[in-house]
Chains A and B, each alone.
Chain A
Amino acid sequence: DARVTQTPRHKVTEMGQEVTMRCQPILGHNTVFWYRQTMMQGLELLAYFRNRAPLDDSGMPKDRFSAEMPDATLATLKIQPSEPRDSAVYFCASGLGSAGNTIYFGEGSWLTVV
C-alpha cells in the first residue's frame, strides 16, 4: 500500500523553537510538494522539488522556512524560529512529474506554536 508518510503527526512547540517536519514520498515518485493548510488561506503551496532539485519555493517565508531533499526518500521542512502564526497543518505530497498527473498527499503534520 504505497503512501506518503509524514512525521510527526502532531507537534506542539513554544515560540522560537526549531521545528522539523519529515516526509517520505511514494517510492518512484520524482516530485515532492509541501503545502500548508489553514482555515483562512486554504491549501498554499510552500515549495516543491523535482528529482530532488528545488523548483519553486516562492510560497515560503524565506527568513524562517527551509525545505530540502537530502535523498530521494526524504524531504524536510524546517521552521526556525517558529512563531504562533505558523500554526497549521503541513502536508507533503508526491507524484510523477508531468502536469496533470495525480499527486498523493500524506496525512499531514499538525503544528501548534504557543
Chain B
Amino acid sequence: QQQVKQSPQSLIVQKGGISIINCAYENTAFDYFPWYQQFPGKGPALLIAIRPDVSEKKEGRFTISFNKSAKQFSLHIMDSQPGDSATYFCAASGRTGYSTLTFGKGTMLLVSP
C-alpha cells in the first residue's frame, strides 16, 4: 500500500509560471515532510522540508504548503526557470528515531524557455 501519493506524474510549465506538485499521505504518525530534487544522472537532493507545526515554509522561490487535516502537502515553485527542470519527490517520515523516509513516485517537471 502506497503511503505517499504524488501528482501529477509529469508537468510542463512555461518559464516564469508557477509549478505546483501535490502529495497526500495516509499515516498520521508522519511528522516530517521533505521534498527532494533530482537531476538526470544524479541522486536526489534535499530541496526543502516542513514539519506539521507550521502550514507553510518558504525558501526563495520554493514554498511548501501543508494541510494537516487533509493530510496533504504541496510544493510551489514560483517564477519557474528552465534550470528547475528535474524530477521532484515528496517524502514523509514518522516521529521515532528509527523511522525512514517513504517517497512519492516523483513528478517530472519541464520548464519550457
Contact surface of A with B, Cβ cutoff 8 Å: 4, 33, 41-43, 45, 48, 50, 55-56, 91, 93, 97-100, 102-108
A99-B98 in contact given A42-B106, A43-B103 (Cβ < 8 Å): yes
Q: Which residues of B contact A93 (CB under 8 A)?
A: 43
Closest to A43 in B: B103
Q: Which secondary structure characterizes the binding site on chain A?
A: strand
Closest to B105 in A: A42
| A91 lies within 8 A of B43 (CB) | yes
A106-B46 in contact given A42-B105, A99-B98 (Cβ < 8 Å): no
Closest to A48 in B: B100
Q: Which secondary structure characterizes the binding site on chain B?
A: loop
| B94 lies within 8 A of A99 (CB) | yes
Per-position contact with A for B64-105: 1 when CB-CB < 8 Å, else 0?
A: 000000000000000000000000010001111111111111
Q: Identify which of B46, B97, B102, B105 contacts A97 (C-beta below 8 A).
A: B97
A-B contact pairs, 23 of them (CB 8 A): A42-B89, A42-B104, A43-B103, A45-B100, A45-B101, A48-B100, A55-B98, A56-B100, A91-B43, A93-B43, A99-B93, A99-B97, A99-B99, A100-B32, A100-B49, A100-B93, A103-B46, A104-B45, A105-B43, A105-B45, A107-B41, A107-B42, A108-B42
